[in-house]
Amino acid sequence: MGKLFILLTSLFLYSCSAHYHVVKAMKKGYRCGQDSDTIRITSIDSIPYVLNDSIYWERIVVQKDTIVRYKSYKVPQTRFQTRILYRYKTKLVKADVLKVKYKNKYITKYKTRWFLVILAFVLGLLVKLTISETFRSRLKLLSKLFK
């Protein structure tokens, strides 16, 4: 039991400190910074005033605005996290490719048969002409002319 206690205390005393991990993280890209940054915009205004028939200018320093800008921390990802993210992105891309292939597979492409379209147009025109009374009267006149 005594040897186990000595072993555990030696491991505890010689383990890594927090400073070691912060320095290691800084080497990998971690930046320690402030949570927010306050910017005060100051300007100098000049105001004229008249005193004894002469114009004097007085300078006044005015603080116009205060802006709070929040900085974001960039914590580097581990190899395991980047691997998982890469796998997720590749699965999404593969799924999108399969969707496009599936859509294109079942789209039916057919050629327009222009001969049938023109034939239908001509037949429709002839039917319209035969129904109109003026066309029938002209046919009667044409038949009388050739007799």
Residue 77 near residue 85, CB atoms below 8 Å:
yes
pLDDT of 9: 73
- Assess whether pLDDT exceeds 80 at residue 82: yes
Among 38, 37, 44, which Cα is nearest to 64's?
44
Segment 21-33, tens digit of pLDDT = 777 877 887 766 6
Distance of alpha carbon 92 from alpha carbon 85, whole angstroms: 11
Distance of alpha carbon 20 from alpha carbon 63, whole angstroms: 43
Q: What is the DSSP letter of 29?
A: T
Task: Answer whether 0.75 is exceeded by the pTM.
Answer: no
pLDDT of 29: 79
Highest mean pLDDT among 4-8, 76-80, 114-118: 114-118
Compute the average pLDDT of residues 9-26: 70
The percent of residues above 70 in pLDDT, for the chain, comes to 76
pLDDT of 135: 80
Segment 54-79, tens digit of pLDDT = 888 888 888 766 666 665 555 566 78
pLDDT of 123: 93
CA distances from 16 to 3, 22, 41, 78 (A): 22, 11, 45, 19
Q: What is the DSSP letter of 55?
A: E
State the angle between helix axes of 114-131 and 133-146 in degrees (0 to 180), rounded to the nearest 10.
80
Residue 68 near residue 37, CB atoms below 8 Å:
yes
